Structure formats: structure tokens, C-alpha cells
């Protein structure tokens, strides 16, 4: 089988074992006699898939009982609107910590709904770091504080949280299950699946009980979290195949030894790549060391031509999707949970080899 090494930021690489298993079960899933693609979302066979997937996510992330797990559509981007629509109370503000393009987009949607405040931003530093959170103060009338836990485009990640009594909401699209966290530090965590969890088309929302049920009257039914928690993600047809694929990904993570082991692997992969960048005479990382992402690693040379030459060089070695986001330029390697160490080693080898050719 001739498969490339895929460094795409999303939709992104999935473990070959998971793809092969989906293939082998495609026409007869879980011995139900039909494919998961054909199953009614109200069937016993699908309800089992849904409840197993939820239980496994609860186990792997250690999600307390007072949090609900939802599988929604509309991507992380729809959450940018659903969050303020459901949680931003009258006469209150929503605080946003701005660490990159995705948090800017989240803020833009919240502004359409109600009162917002930016309590910290690293924009003046081109988002090359997470702003200092020790000094920020939050007012009393806050509905929530929104952060982007891992910044997919800029390659930074939060290693500590702002101090606040308001619930913290984390857009963890590109970080979910990549390292151990304490779910009860958050009011809500959400993630589009296509980075670390599975295929596109399904968004995971983990939300604390007490935040549900305060939406204003008149909020359209589909946009209300309560609709989906009451119906257990089955108010309407959920993204059934996506949920099934998340289930397979979670079983794969479980079989490796859970999030602890995945985090160990992720740290090993990221250290190797950052070491290669830091030791290189032509590549450099734009990101402040303490805030570097474990999942998305931007790097550059000093010239656009050399960047382009490297992308060609890498592509000839089947190392693909390394072009940086247009707002940052250079290269970006997304090395999500599914990516084995061996693939990162191949990238590092290609970087050293390319550097030799430049001498
Ligand atoms: C990809 C991404 C999004 C957007 O996700 P969609 O599912 O495409 O809406 C939002 N936030 C972060 C941090 C992302 O990486």
C-alpha cells in the first residue's frame, strides 16, 4: 500500500489500524447485518455505538458525571455562535482571551450576540506566545471566559488557565485527548473531530450540567444545548458515521494505554521535531519555547524560496501537507495523536538532509 505521510492540519491523518478496521466492518458493522452507514439512528445497533462512544470518551478523559457529552454538527465554528447564544446572560459580559485566528473568529460571533470583553491578547506579538495570564483581572458580571487551548494555526498552547470564578470554555479542537487535563477546571470543552478525533462533520461538546437550560426564549431549537442534552444527541439525525469513527479512534487510544500514553508519545514526537528545528542553521520556530504546541509545529527558513524548495524536497519523499497557513507562511507540521513517531523521524531526517544540500 502506497500511503503518504500526511501532516495536514485537518482533516488529518488517522491511524492505519483504525481505517483498516472501518474498512473491514463497513458492510457489516458489529455483526448487525448492515453497515453503520445504513443504520437508523434510532436502531438498537446505533444506540449501542453512541453509548459506547460516549462511555469511552468519559473514561479516557475522566469526565465527571455532572458533565454531558454531545455530538453535534456545524463544526467548532457553529459553537462560536451557540456558546454566546446559550451562555451569555443579560447584563453580563463574555471574556475572550485572544491567541490567534480561531479565537478572533469566536469573538466575532459573540459580539453579534451580546457584550464581550478581551481580557488578554498576544496580537501585538503576532500570536507567537500565550499572553501573560497572571496579571489579568476579570469583572464580576462574567458569563464565561473563552480560550483556544491549542492554536492550530499559530502553534501555541495554554499550559495554565486564567484565574476566574466564571466557567472557562475551551476550544480544544486541535488538542483534545492529546494530553491529560482536569475536565472540572472547565465549564465546557468543545472540539471539531477532524483534527484529533476522527472525520469531519461531527463536533464533540462536553458541558457542565448547570450551564444548560438558561437560553433565552426564542432561541431556535437546534441551537439550544438543552435540546440536544434532553434527547441525548438524538433530537435529529446525528452524524452517525462520524460518531462511529470517533468510537474506533477512542478504542485505539484505549488500547495504547489511554491519554497518559498518548501524551507521552506526543511529547516525544514534539521534542524531537523542536530539537531538530532548534539545532538547525536554516529552520527556526517563530513560537516562544514555553508556549509551543504539541500538535501543530510551524517552522520557517529566512526566505520564501527556500521554504518552497523544502516543501518540494519533502513532497518527493512522500511527506505532504507541510505548507504553513497563509497567515503565518513557512511550514507547519501537524502531528496529532494518530501520527506515529516514525513519521516525525522521517520529517526530521528530511529536514537535516535538505540542510546539507543547502551548504
Ligand atoms: C479547525 C478549528 C476550528 C474550526 O473547526 P470547524 O470544524 O471547521 O468549524 C475552530 N477552532 C480551532 C482551534 C480549530 O483548529
Q: Tell me if the pTM is above 0.95.
A: yes
354 close to 310: Cβ distance less than 8 angstroms: yes
The reply to whether ligand 1 has any atom less than 6 angstroms from the CB of 152 is yes
| Spatial CA neighbour of 7 closest among 291, 327, 242, 317 | 317
Q: How many domains does the chain have?
A: 2
Phi, psi angles (nearest 5°) of residue 67 = -115, 140
Residue 207 sits in the same domain as residue 312:
no
Exposed e or buried b per residue across 175-214, where buried means at least 16 C-beta atoms within 10 angstroms of its C-beta: bbbbbebebeebbbbbbbbbbbbbbebbbbbbbbeebbee
**103 and 239 part of one domain:** yes
Q: 147 near 102, Cβ under 8 Å?
A: no
Closest CA to 337 of 234, 264, 266, 232: 266
Domain co-membership, 225 together with 344: no
Please report the beta strands in the chain, taking only residues with DSSP state E, as ranges in sequence order: 5-6, 67-72, 93-98, 115-121, 142-148, 150-151, 156-157, 168-171, 188-192, 203-208, 296-299, 319-320, 331-334
**H-helix or E-strand spanning residue 54:** helix 44-61
Same domain? For 158 and 38 the reply is yes
Q: Are residues 266 and 162 in the same domain?
A: no
Pocket test for ligand 1, best of 11, 72, 77, 204 (most atoms within 8 A of CB): 77
251 belongs to a structural domain:
yes
| pLDDT given for residue 137 in this prediction | 78
Neighbours of 341 (CB within 10 A): 13
Does a structural domain hold residue 1?
Answer: no
In the reported structure, the alpha carbon of residue 173 is separated from the centroid of ligand 1 by a whole-number distance in angstroms of 6
Percent of the chain with pLDDT over 90: 96
Q: Is residue 4 part of a domain?
A: no
Domain end among 230, 256, 282: 256
Q: Do 71 and 159 reside in the same domain of the chain?
A: yes
User: Could you tell me the residue range of the domain that residue 340 belongs to?
Assistant: 258-357
Cβ–ligand 1 contact at 77 (below 6 Å): yes
| DSSP structure class, residue 223 | G
Output the pLDDT for position 117: 95
> Would you state the pLDDT for residue 139?
78
List the CATH number of the domain containing 343: 3.90.1150.10
Question: What is the C-alpha to C-alpha distance for residues 328 and 326, in angstroms, rounded to an integer?
Answer: 6
Within-domain flag for 11: no
User: Mind giving me the DSSP string for 253-280?
Assistant: HHHHTHHHHHHHHHHHHHHHHHHHHHH-
pLDDT at 184: 98
CA 93 to ligand 1 center in whole angstroms: 23
- Per residue in 254-263, is it b (16+ CB within 10 Å) or e — as a string? eeeebbeebb
Name the residue at shortest CA distance from atom 8 of ligand 1: 75
Q: Are residues 237 and 285 in the same domain?
A: no
Q: Does residue 188 sit in the same domain as residue 268?
A: no
* pLDDT score, position 339: 97
Residue 313 lies in a domain: yes
Q: Domain check: are 31 and 96 in the same one?
A: yes
Summarize pLDDT for 169-194 with one digit per residue, the tens: 999 999 999 999 999 999 999 999 99
Q: Is 330 in the pocket of ligand 1 (CB under 6 A)?
A: no
Residues 227 and 308 both lie in one domain: no
Place of cell 497518559: 260
CA of 293 to the centre of ligand 1 (A): 16
Q: Is the CB of 336 under 6 A from ligand 1?
A: no
For residue 173 and ligand 1, the question of a CB distance below 6 A is answered with yes
Count the neighbouring beta carbons within 10 Å of the beta carbon of residue 298.
25
Residues 236, 282 within the same domain: no
Question: Is 171 among the annotated ligand-binding positions?
Answer: yes
Domain of 160, CATH number, reads: 3.40.640.10
Q: Among 233, 256, 279, which residue terminates a domain?
A: 256
Report which of 211, 234, 213, 310 is spatially closest to residue 53, judged by C-alpha positions. 234
- Report residues of the chain scoring pLDDT below 50: none
Question: 255 CA distance to ligand 1 centroid (A)?
Answer: 27
Pick the catalytic residue: 195, 269, 300, 323?
A: 195
Residue 217 is assigned to a structural domain of this protein: yes
Residue 2 resides in a domain: no
In a domain, 136, yes or no: yes
The residue among 256, 272, 287 that closes a domain is 256
Residue position matching grid coordinates 483556544:
148
pLDDT of residue 46: 98
At 116 the pLDDT is 97
Do 285 and 217 fall into the same domain? no
Amino acid at each position: 500500500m502506497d500511503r503518504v505521510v500526511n501532516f495536514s492540519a485537518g482533516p488529518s491523518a488517522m491511524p492505519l489500524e483504525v481505517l483498516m478496521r472501518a474498512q473491514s466492518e463497513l458492510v457489516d458493522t458489529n455483526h448487525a447485518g448492515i453497515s453503520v452507514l445504513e443504520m437508523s439512528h434510532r436502531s438498537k445497533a446505533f444506540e449501542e455505538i453512541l453509548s459506547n462512544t460516549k462511555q469511552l470518551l468519559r473514561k479516557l478523559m475522566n469526565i465527571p458525571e455532572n458533565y454531558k457529552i454531545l455530538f453535534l454538527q456545524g463544526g467548532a465554528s457553529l459553537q462560536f455562535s451557540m456558546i454566546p447564544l446559550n451562555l451569555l446572560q443579560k447584563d453580563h459580559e463574555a471574556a475572550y482571551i485572544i491567541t490567534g485566528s480561531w479565537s478572533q473568529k469566536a469573538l466575532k460571533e459573540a459580539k453579534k450576540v451580546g457584550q464581550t470583553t478581551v481580557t488578554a491578547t498576544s496580537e501585538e506579538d503576532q500570536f507567537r506566545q500565550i499572553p501573560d495570564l497572571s496579571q489579568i483581572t476579570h469583572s464580576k458580571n462574567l458569563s464565561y471566559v473563552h480560550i483556544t487551548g491549542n492554536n492550530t494555526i499559530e502553534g501555541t498552547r495554554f499550559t495554565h488557565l486564567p484565574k476566574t470564578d466564571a466557567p472557562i470554555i475551551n476550544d480544544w479542537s486541535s488538542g483534545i485527548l492529546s494530553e491529560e487535563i482536569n475536565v472540572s477546571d472547565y465549564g465546557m470543552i468543545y472540539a471539531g473531530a477532524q483534527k484529533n478525533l476522527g472525520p469531519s462533520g461531527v463536533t464533540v461538546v462536553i458541558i457542565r450540567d448547570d450551564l444548560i437550560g438558561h437560553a433565552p426564549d426564542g432561541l431556535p431549537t437546534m441551537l439550544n444545548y438543552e435540546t440536544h442534552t434532553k434527547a441525548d444527541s438524538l433530537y435529529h439525525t446525528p452524524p452517525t458515521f462520524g460518531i462511529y469513527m470517533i468510537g474506533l479512534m477512542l478504542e485505539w487510544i484505549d488500547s495504547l494505554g489511554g491519554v497518559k500514553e498518548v501524551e507521552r508519545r506526543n511529547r516525544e514526537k514534539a521534542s524531537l521535531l523542536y530539537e531538530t528545528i532548534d539545532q538547525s542553521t536554516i529552520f527556526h520556530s517563530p513560537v516562544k519555547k514555553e508556549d509551543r504546541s504539541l500538535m501543530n509545529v510551524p517552522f520557517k527558513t529566512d526566505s520564501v524560496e527556500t521554504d518552497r524548495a523544502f516543501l518540494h524536497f519533502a513532497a518527493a519523499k512522500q511527506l505532504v501537507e507541510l505548507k504553513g497557513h497563509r497567515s503565518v507562511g513557512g511550514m507547519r507540521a501537524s502531528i496529532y495523536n494518530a501520527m506515529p513517531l516514525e513519521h516525525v523521524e522521517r520529517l526530521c531526517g528530511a529536514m537535516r538532509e535538505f540542510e546539507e544540500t543547502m551548504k
